[in-house]
Amino acid sequence: MAATTHASSMSFLLSHPQPRSATPGTRLPLRPPARRVRCATDAAAAASIKHRRAADENIREEAARHPAPKQGLSAWYEPFPPAPNGDPNERYSLDEIVYRSSSGGLLDVRHDMEALARFSGAYWRDLFDSRKEFVLPEIDPDHIVSLFEGNSNLFWAERLGRDHLGGMTDLWVKHCGISHTGSFKDLGMTVLVSQVNRLRRAPLSRPIAGVGCASTGDTSAALSAYCAAAGIPAIVFLPANRISLEQLIQPIANGATVLSLDTDFDGCMRLIREVTAELPIYLANSLNSLRLEGQKTAAIEILQQFDWEVPDWVIVPGGNLGNIYAFYKGFEMCRVLGLVDRVPRLVCAQAANANPLYSYYKSGWTEFQPQVAKPTFASAIQIGDPVSVDRAVVALKATNGIVEEATEEELMNAMSLADRTGMFACPHTGVALAALFKLRDQRVIGANERVVVVSTAHGLKFSQSKIDYHDSKIEDMACKYANPPVSVKADFGAVMDVLKKRLKGKL
């Protein structure tokens, strides 16, 4: 009998020794997972690699012990999308410091899929204690920089689905923001900083003075934490007054060089690209495709948590548009290698105040217009000129995907409704939820379909937005927090009076 799959960190390198059924807060799928027959050789292969990390063993020792297939797995950078008249053989080692193709386009990490496909889907399904083969096949375990990212809660949004979305029974929220620095950015940063660590150390010994990024807050938090853990200098460019206090304090506390610039994110992005072209500073933005290799593991983790049943829809809030492509890449890789037989339909959700992809989609993908993004409660996606727009289009076209938008009122209402069912969501999750509300209204998404909403950051990182929302002057907010705090004298009679008024009809 083949061993069953079990929980593992969905970061690319680690495992948390806990059985899935005991993961707190994680609900298993309602439908019983289909029984699968695995062939004997798969079972034998799986049995030989099923070691849990012992309590006294560190991450690097585990990765070193893990008997990865040695048959020449490799990955490299290729132009994205392939230039029609370009050199079909243009490719670069991941050890080169290169962010753009020779024609100035994007790059993508490509894996030797033939080498990976020598093993069956069942083999890979069983191998998820360590998936570096899917991410950075050639990293030396000694160079790994990890803060135990991944393994995030897949939350059954039972009450939100049932009471507020027309009796949905199979609605899930993937809490990617319940992570070391409070956002999904950790999944990509472990890969990028591990690779920089490899480059800086012998035998490569590249002269990289530090790692830099422009950020709407979460990238700088993640970069500074991983760099601090590895002893690598971090440099972050932030748009002044446009990020939350919680986001600002993280790079400061982690000892990064923080430049607060009098511009928006797109302005910070232009500056960091100029600076990294001039100085030996490695660029950590998601222009750098290594980040997306890590982020794609969230898709693989969702499949694993559903015991390799593919959800019907996955809704992702999008700003710079790397993550929507990363999800596609993770799902598609699992399909190509036979772990699953299809991919979900993807929805990219944008704030109406920063919606260049939505406009592009509505134009029938005819003309992309960068814009100056307006302020939004979903500040991490206030981006008017997304670096990965072409990547997003590939992801959406390949999955019969949809782009939706949400106004400030819609996104904050969706967020606070979710909060009232116990979610404590961030405004970006509110954008994705608002898209779900619309697609349910339009009957595009059915009540019985399995839907995963991707929550991108921890609600606590955006506490101020909840306060501002409560105090906001936006008229007709349908769903303001119903229970503002009441100041009461410390007196039994006064306390009883307030409770009787507040709980009228319930006592």
Ligand X SMILES: *Cc1c(COP(=O)(O)O)cnc(C)c1O
Q: Which residues bind ligand X (CB under 6 A)?
A: 183, 185, 218, 286, 317-323, 380-381, 426, 428, 456-457
Structure tokens at 148: 């135990």
Q: Using an 8 Å Cβ cutoff, are 231 and 264 in contact?
A: no
Alpha-carbon gap, residue 414 to 111, rounded angstroms? 39
Q: Find the angle CA(448)-CA(452)-CA(457) to the nearest 5 degrees.
A: 150
Secondary structure of 465-506 in the HEC alphabet? HHHHHHHCCCCCCCCCCCCCCCCCCCCHHHHHHHHHHHCCCC
Q: Name the nearest CA neighbour of 346 among 286, 392, 291.
A: 392
Closer of 185 and 242 to ligand X (Cβ): 185
Closer of 2 and 324 to ligand X (Cβ): 324
**Cβ 182 to ligand X, closest distance in Å?**
9
**Cβ 173 to ligand X, closest distance in Å?**
14
**Cβ 28 to ligand X, closest distance in Å?**
27
**Cβ 49 to ligand X, closest distance in Å?**
32
Closer of 258 and 337 to ligand X (Cβ): 258
Alpha-carbon gap, residue 170 to 157, rounded angstroms? 8
**Cβ 407 to ligand X, closest distance in Å?**
17
Alpha-carbon gap, residue 365 to 371, rounded angstroms? 16
**Cβ 246 to ligand X, closest distance in Å?**
12
Closer of 141 and 188 to ligand X (Cβ): 188
Q: How many CB atoms lie within 10 A of CB 113?
A: 12
Q: Name the nearest CA neighbour of 357 among 346, 343, 347, 368.
A: 368
Closer of 340 and 395 to ligand X (Cβ): 395
Query: In sequence order, which residues have a C-beta less than 8 Å from that of residue 218 and are 6 or more positions away?
Result: 181, 182, 183, 184, 185, 247, 380, 456, 457, 461
**Cβ 318 to ligand X, closest distance in Å?**
4
**Cβ 503 to ligand X, closest distance in Å?**
36
Closer of 7 and 173 to ligand X (Cβ): 173
- In 3-state terms, what secondary structure has residue 253? helix
Q: Name the nearest CA neighbour of 346 among 296, 302, 396.
A: 396
Q: Name the nearest CA neighbour of 125 among 250, 376, 306.
A: 306
Closer of 322 and 384 to ligand X (Cβ): 322
- The one-character DSSP state at 106 is E
Burial of 262 (C-beta count, 10 Å sphere; 0-12/13-18/19+): exposed
Closer of 141 and 217 to ligand X (Cβ): 217
